[in-house]
Amino acid sequence: MIRNWFEPRGRSFRAAVLLPGAVILLAALVAPAAGNSGSISQLRRALERAVCLNQWEQAAAVASLMIASTEISAASRESLIAFRRQLGELQATSIALTNSASCQQFYAETLAVPAETPEEPPTIGWASAIASLTMRAPVVELDNRADAVVNPPIPSTLLATAAAPLAAATPIDTRDGFAVVAGQVGEAHQGYSFLAGRGDRVTLDLDVTRIFPGTRLTSDDSQLFMFDRSGRLMAQNDDADGRQSLIADLVIPETAVYFAVVTTHQNEPIFDADQRLIGWSDDGGARFDYTLTLTGLTPAAALLR
């Protein structure tokens, strides 16, 4: 079929390349002398060039000349008419096609760019080389105080009053107002503590990155919880985005330490009569690696002044 040599492989696209020489050649073939439509081989070559250069208007004009030729069969004429219709659609949508095997020879012949001659490396004398080895480089001392990690990220005095099931949570350094931590969770749970300021709009975004066989299922089914330091549940989410968990734009009521806990499917918190956390069922059925992203926080250094 005529269309085989211009269709892209893998639907790869690029911007159209227009060469003045090709345009002049096509113009000569598109407007031949009266009574002479040119040989089919010339017209086919002109059509190939126009298509490879994404010159849809010229390609349609050449296709029209081929359709009018008496040298083609009725079947070929019908194929050309359908092909010309496709060219009109390509022109109307300004689509550029490339990566055609039939165009590779044309590109090699017409669009070849001479290889650049690499520059010769500068020569250096033996004496200069020895001198460069014996010269002492200046000593540069870096002031890392501005980049120092808050150590510890959360003062122990702020964690002292946390509910017992949250006391072992891993502190997160939020000196930049956001943080990303990575971990793995299975039957048990994984907790994190972080500082947040009053009025912060905090988002906790859990992204499962790798799934392993669990005790009951192989799944990325996650759960995400957020507590205050007394163990009261502030927010929770199970499968906000498919099987990914998300707590978005939670407004913080007061400057304090808060806790995020990641679990797998069916690992639920246990509360007392006052709805304060006293433990976990720790019978999650899945197992996976994850990242937890925290955003919307006041930088920790500003809260610890």
Question: Is the same domain home to 189 and 294?
Answer: yes
Residue 106, domain member (yes or no):
yes
- Measured from the Cβ of residue 60, the count of other Cβ atoms closer than 10 Å reads 20
Looking at 110, 131, 148, which one is the last position of a domain? 110
Cα separation, 47 vs 79, whole angstroms = 14
Between these two residues, 7 and 133, which has the higher pLDDT value?
133
pTM score, whole prediction: 0.52
Question: Is the same domain home to 195 and 74?
Answer: no
Question: Is the same domain home to 230 and 289?
Answer: yes
Question: Is the same domain home to 161 and 299?
Answer: yes
Q: Which helix (H) or strand (E) holds 31?
A: none
232-263: pLDDT as tens digits: 999 999 876 666 899 999 999 999 999 999 99
CA proximity to 238, closest of 196, 269, 209: 269
Residue 141, domain member (yes or no):
no
Which pLDDT score is estimated for 234?
Answer: 97
Please give the tally of structural domains in the chain.
2
Per the prediction, the chain carries an average pLDDT of: 75
Instruction: Please answer whether residues 208 and 186 qualify as being in contact, where contact means their C-beta atoms are separated by less than 8 angstroms.
Output: no
Residue 285, domain member (yes or no):
yes
Residue 133, domain member (yes or no):
no
Cα separation, 51 vs 126, whole angstroms = 58
SS3 45: helix
Residue 208, domain member (yes or no):
yes
pLDDT of residue 301 exceeding 90, the answer is no
Structure-token pair, residue 238: 């199970």
pLDDT of residue 46 exceeding 50, the answer is yes
Residue 184, domain member (yes or no):
yes
DSSP codes joined into one string, 177-200? S-EEEEEEESSS-EEEEEEE-TT-
Looking at 110, 128, 145, which one is the last position of a domain? 110
Q: Of 98-107, 112-121, 134-143, 296-305, where does mean pLDDT reach its minimum?
A: 134-143
Residue 132, domain member (yes or no):
no
CA proximity to 166, closest of 189, 187, 184, 145: 189
Domain containing 295: what range? Answer: 156-303
Which string of b and e fits 237-246 if b means at least 16 CB within 10 Å?
Answer: beeeeebbbb
Instruction: Please answer whether residues 99 and 107 qualify as being in contact, where contact means their C-beta atoms are separated by less than 8 angstroms.
Output: no
pLDDT of residue 56 exceeding 90, the answer is no
Question: Is the same domain home to 71 and 161?
Answer: no
Question: Is the same domain home to 166 and 49?
Answer: no
Question: Is the same domain home to 178 and 100?
Answer: no
Question: Is the same domain home to 104 and 229?
Answer: no
pLDDT of residue 6 exceeding 60, the answer is no
- Measured from the Cβ of residue 268, the count of other Cβ atoms closer than 10 Å reads 17
Which pLDDT score is estimated for 152?
Answer: 63
pLDDT of residue 59 exceeding 60, the answer is yes
CATH of residue 231's domain is 2.60.120.380
Which pLDDT score is estimated for 261?
Answer: 97
Whole-number CA gyration radius for the chain: 35
SS (H, E, C) 71-131: CCCHHHHHHHHHHHHHHHHHHHHCCCECCCHHHHHHHHHHCCCCCCCCCCCCCCCHHHHHH
Question: Is the same domain home to 103 and 178?
Answer: no
Mean pLDDT of all residues in 263-267: 89
Token match 């079947």: residue?
A: 75
Looking at 89, 110, 131, which one is the last position of a domain? 110
Cα separation, 134 vs 64, whole angstroms = 76
Residue 145, domain member (yes or no):
no
φ, ψ of residue 136 to 5 degrees: the values are -85, 130
